[in-house]
Chains A and B, each alone.
Chain A
């Protein structure tokens, strides 16, 4: 893994991301990552809060439509995140708080996908929210909040 990560970090792409004076390099990728954060976590918050009882007037089947927004934000952040990772691959791959962030995101996505299946799947009853779904919604909020904090701390905990 080591030589591969160093090759990524020393690539021309990385040199452009980190070394360019253009705001279209590192600053713009970072900003896209933050815009994606707002979309993906914002969508997760809306889904989770509704499942936890906020906005009972919103028909549950309409909450289905928030999932594509979640995946849109996630895709923006997967792409921008991979670009940011490549530019500092060797350093980030061994940074504990980055690995923590990655772990929280993987579990967060798995939990969101499970919420989609359990609460909005074909066989799901949309009139009643099972307590298992509520627990997943609560976990989702904690996981995404944790991923945000871990991401921010990547700048401080080397």
Chain B
């Protein structure tokens, strides 16, 4: 286990790389970005701030869905969602840059696929909520407990985002084959 393993783009051997990673890494955009030494740490800093916005904003609404803080009107608890979405957008953009710079670190990584899986779960869960249950939010009065369906949506969301965080941070250490 090398403590510094996650600190820099891993050295790679193009001969053992999957064809897609080998192609992407050889493109001009990938090469230029990799040669911009400050870009990786700058993107990481943004990625971690985005993480806090996402967990804070979405987590607050999830807790309300779970039935906590019942005196907060359901619709008002959604106030931080634009900030959560901004955090997600920051992380989607910086995450895409990481991927373009060093696809060989992600494509063969079980942790990365698990992270992507939980992003999809969280996204589908949010879409399901907005399209089917979302309108019932307004019918819910103050101090009222949330129905079981809301609790499930909130629980799935909270669990999924922390799973995304877990597999993202564990990415350099699990399922890499080294």
What is the bound-complex CA distance between A19 and B54, given in angstroms? 33
Contact status A30-B83, CB under 8 Å:
no
Are A152 and B41 CB-contacts (below 8 A) given A65-B69, A144-B52?
A: yes
What is the bound-complex CA distance between A50 and B78, given in angstroms? 12
B150 interface residue (CB < 8 Å to A): no
Chain A 122-149: CB-based contact to B (< 8 A → 1; otherwise 0)? 0000000000000000000000110011
Contact status A45-B83, CB under 8 Å:
yes
What is the bound-complex CA distance between A149 and B172, given in angstroms? 20
Which residue in A27, A144, A148 is a CB contact (below 8 Å) of B170? Answer: A27
B59 / chain A contacts, CB cutoff of 8 Å: 38-39, 42
What is the bound-complex CA distance between A13 and B121, given in angstroms? 38
B3 interface residue (CB < 8 Å to A): yes
Interface members, chain A 46-60 (any B CB < 8 Å): 46, 49-50, 54-59
Interface members, chain B 108-150 (any A CB < 8 Å): none
Are A156 and B7 CB-contacts (below 8 A) given A20-B1, A62-B71?
A: yes
Interface size class of B (residues with CB under 8 A): 35 or more
What is the bound-complex CA distance between A126 and B128, given in angstroms? 36
B165 / chain A contacts, CB cutoff of 8 Å: 31, 34-35, 38
A98 interface residue (CB < 8 Å to B): no
* Residue from B4, B41, B56, B75 whose CB has the most chain A CB atoms within 10 Å: B56
- Give the shortest distance, in Å, between B43 (CB) and chain A (any CB): 10
Contact status B79-A55, CB under 8 Å:
yes
Give A151's nearest chain B residue, CB to CB.
Answer: B48
What are 19 A-to-B residue pairs whose CB atoms are below 8 Å? Answer: A22-B1, A23-B170, A25-B1, A26-B1, A27-B174, A34-B51, A35-B166, A37-B52, A38-B162, A49-B83, A56-B79, A57-B79, A59-B71, A65-B69, A145-B49, A148-B48, A149-B49, A151-B48, A155-B6
- Chain B contacts to A: CB under 8 angstroms: 1, 3-4, 6-7, 41, 44-45, 48-49, 51-57, 59-60, 68-69, 71-73, 75-77, 79-80, 83, 162, 165-166, 168-170, 172-174
- Chain A contacts to B: CB under 8 angstroms: 18-23, 25-27, 30-31, 34-35, 37-39, 41-46, 49-50, 54-59, 62, 65-66, 144-145, 148-149, 151-153, 155-156
